[in-house]
Amino acid sequence: MSARYDELKALKNLGQKYAYSDREVMLYAYGIGLGADPMDENELAFVNEGTLTPRPLKVVPTFASVAAWGAGPGEMNLNRVMVVDGERDITFHQPLPAAAHITADSSVIEVYDKGKDKGVVIKHQTVLKNEKGEKLATLVASRFARGDGGFGGPNLTQPDPHTIPSREPDKTIDITTRPDQALVYRLCGDRNPLHSDPEFAKKAGFPRPILHGMCTYGITCRGVLQTYADYDPSAFRQHVARFSSPVYPGETVTMDLWKDGNVISFEAKVKSRGVTVIKNGKTVLG
């Protein structure tokens, strides 16, 4: 077995301590575009705690993706310029509170070496727990390192993704992003210059900074919230998406959604460029 494979597979980091407040919760909601209409009470519930008529602040389920920003199994020593998010799968064990002290346990699940010049996919998970040790969310991420691979890992095949229904979508919605959205979203933790520095973006092969894949992921959660979840975060059990192409800040994301019982399938595209940006999306409601 490859020593590099064994090194990556053994990475583990338990008991990482984090804390967040309602400020981070509201910033994340704003970062994925909620609150663009300052009179929309459904969206204000995620970015404003209410004053004359107090109300509990709602937490976007995918806030789990930044609640313990920086948590991970350990240093992977990858070519950072060539690393992109491949997939995210979050299981929600209970609704996230608006403020909390949490712990994060991270470990590598599997490593898929695609071969020399083809990159490597590293799948790892982080389990978020509250102060009582109860699970809040389990995050499974697939990191695609385009500049690595070919180190002789086992010949493994990644699991098949969720299948999108072949019929016409049950709903289609447009969600507009702002030209400065990546500059806001990066304040949630992801300071990767690919999303803010034009020079760095060009070095990575993009004409200008791209929107964070995890911001697009949050946008798809927002799409399900406003269509089939009635803006109820507690309805979410799972939210899965594969990143297939980047969004540039300022573009309009078009979501196609299919409802089959408590399973919502979705894909997202940018029509102006004719590209699909999210594939094989699945939300489980309950």
Backbone angles phi, psi at 186, to 5 degrees: -60, -20
Give 154's contacts (C-beta < 8 A, 6+ positions apart). Answer: 1, 5, 113
Give 69's contacts (C-beta < 8 A, 6+ positions apart). Answer: 18, 188, 189, 190
What's the distance, Cα to Cα, between the start and end of the chain in Å?
Answer: 42
Catalytic residue among 85, 105, 113, 190: 190
SS3 for 243? Answer: strand
Catalytic residue among 105, 113, 124, 195: 195
- 113 catalytic? Reply is no
SS3 for 283? Answer: strand
Token pair of 47 as six digits:
């970015």
- 105 catalytic? Reply is no
- DSSP-derived letter for residue 53 is S
What is the signed CA dihedral for 99, 100, 106, 110, rounded to 10 degrees? -40
CA-to-CA dists, residue 5 to 41, 98, 99, 173, 241, angstroms: 50, 39, 38, 42, 26
- DSSP-derived letter for residue 261 is T
> So which residues are the catalytic ones?
190, 195
